Structure 1
């Protein structure tokens, strides 16, 4: 696996790619999950598809490494999250409409892939009946808004990590989404959006 930083700069003349970092991983048939990565401190974290492991890329040292996850946490319906304690966590789903929130035992460290279950959310009590006609799927996590997005039969829903408030994203039925709350154009000020936005890689309905 390879990773590389592109520094755009304020001018095209200053834009440049840095050196390529690489790391070996025995699961060569796997690849990144389609969900966006999670930034914790100076390290980006990406989930290997089916939660086989977590890929870590240090933006300062440009070191690339892989941490294997325990077999009990390996499932298709999962997403990386950040915890209130400042660590890395996981949101996983099961077939009984329950959302499980896991936290790394040591805040900011997942070297030993130690995770503990911190909360279980019963979605059957929160989602409308139309959304439960098929099993919901965890798609991604928006760190700034502290919400997890879920694909359901009724469309895309978000659930707040603290309030457990459920909201439906109007007109969006996509599975793969990239949430963002602000964006930056080099040479200009940072533009803050009035509310969380969602981009998709496929047309929406409605």
Structure 2
């Protein structure tokens, strides 16, 4: 029996999926794969309407919880030489770069010469820009917004001291200047924000410094809402600030590590108070462990980490000076699942808060370790990474635009 002509096989197309069903499908697209939703928005006006609806974007963020890691930022040191013999000159400079770990590419910050990335938090990145008219630049890599910040006179004294133009290369390398060490952090200042979508909101930049000669530790805060720096506050207790160290934020308190890796500085933004406290020592440890560095916050607790041989040690403590009494080793990871060359000479160089991912610099390159699953992944081939700042953010702004190439 011959088949009926095509026109007679069935004149009805499969029924279109209702909007609610499509929304449920889109909700399940992984948050670290934003390009899929960008492309879906370009398919038809119905899909674009669903994806660009404010209710859907809020549901999407609520469904996935913590913002995904779209990539990480790092600094690399470079040297340029020119001339010959006695006339040969050298220039040392820093390049900051963004490395994507998802289907996200940010034209706002791919690679910047003479920009040093200091911190990344709440969808914002803080750069020190010594070769520009301003001292700092804050970037939102998703919206491409950029804010230029000039340091106040007091803050300039922290950053530059008595430096001359000839000293700028050394200052860019964060070499100590007249006994002054410093670091800075950026954080969202939006009222009652859950930090899943901080774009377009106000932010703060906290600058913390230490003066060895005067024996004081001091701090000042820049507010994007007012465009001004606060008055400098200080305490007569001094510990050199770890200028390449990580910072941590719990509520309205910002934490900085000191160079001795034992002392932590707390700056209470609301109370405008500075406190220094020592992290406790694990007396039960039967091996001589190297220094444990502050790497971030996990479940509302300050997280410290160190490596001994092929083992990764993690500790946590309640934020604040009183938290030193509530110290506990969180976990020991014996021989993370890494290639043999990567198991020794490891160092912890970063932590992605909210998703529990640690960055390890090894002889085989840069790896991530998921604390919950133990899964590892090589994310970069560089074997000398000193510090990694993960970039965490939902990429909902661009869903209504046409997809861009990698």
- TM-score category (smaller protein): 0.7 to 0.9
Structure 1 residue corresponding to 2:295, chosen from 80, 90, 94? 80
Structure 2 residue corresponding to 1:150, chosen from 360, 371, 385? 360
Unaligned runs of 5+ in 1: 183-189, 195-206
TM-score normalised according to structure 1 size: 0.72
Does 2:267 correspond to 1:57? yes
Alpha carbons 1:42, 1:60 under 8 Å: kept: yes
Does 2:311 correspond to 1:101? no
Cα 1:18–1:159 change in 2 (3 A) is: same
Displacement, 1:113?
Answer: 1.6
Q: Residue in 1 aligned with 2:224?
A: 8
For 1:45, what is the secondary structure of its paired residue? strand
Displacement, 1:40?
Answer: 0.9
For 1:5, what is the secondary structure of its paired residue? strand
Structure 2 residue corresponding to 1:40, chosen from 250, 254, 258? 250
Q: Distance in 2 between matches of 1:72 and 1:50?
A: 16
Q: Distance in 1 between matches of 2:319 and 2:281?
A: 21
For 2:342, what is the secondary structure of its paired residue? helix
For 2:341, what is the secondary structure of its paired residue? helix
Displacement, 1:155?
Answer: 1.3
Alpha carbons 1:35, 1:178 under 8 Å: kept: no
Unaligned runs of 5+ in 2: 1-216, 284-288, 399-406
Q: Distance in 1 between matches of 2:366 and 2:235?
A: 35
Alpha carbons 1:33, 1:46 under 8 Å: kept: no
**Structure exhibiting the larger radius of gyration computed from Cα positions:** 2
Cα 1:161–1:179 change in 2 (3 A) is: same
Deviation sequence 1:19-56 (CA, Å, 0-9, x none): 11222335x4x322513311111111112124121111
Q: Residue in 1 aligned with 2:59?
A: none
Q: Distance in 2 between matches of 1:164 and 1:193?
A: 32
Q: Distance in 2 between matches of 1:177 and 1:193?
A: 25
Q: Residue in 1 aligned with 2:348?
A: 138
Cα 1:101–1:110 change in 2 (3 A) is: farther
Alpha carbons 1:47, 1:80 under 8 Å: kept: no
Alpha carbons 1:54, 1:69 under 8 Å: kept: yes
Q: Residue in 2 aligned with 1:92?
A: 306
Q: Residue in 2 aligned with 1:203?
A: none
Alpha carbons 2:359, 2:366 under 8 Å: kept: yes
For 1:46, what is the secondary structure of its paired residue? strand
Q: Distance in 2 between matches of 1:48 and 1:22?
A: 16
Q: Distance in 2 between matches of 1:135 and 1:142?
A: 21
Q: Distance in 2 between matches of 1:110 and 1:146?
A: 24
Q: Distance in 1 between matches of 2:269 and 2:250?
A: 11
Structure 1 residue corresponding to 2:374, chosen from 156, 159, 164? 164
- Equivalenced residues, count: 175
Q: Distance in 2 between matches of 1:193 and 1:38?
A: 27
Alpha carbons 1:50, 1:75 under 8 Å: kept: no
RCO (CA 8 Å, sep 6+): is it higher in 1 or 2? 2
Per residue, is there more helix in 1 or in 2?
2
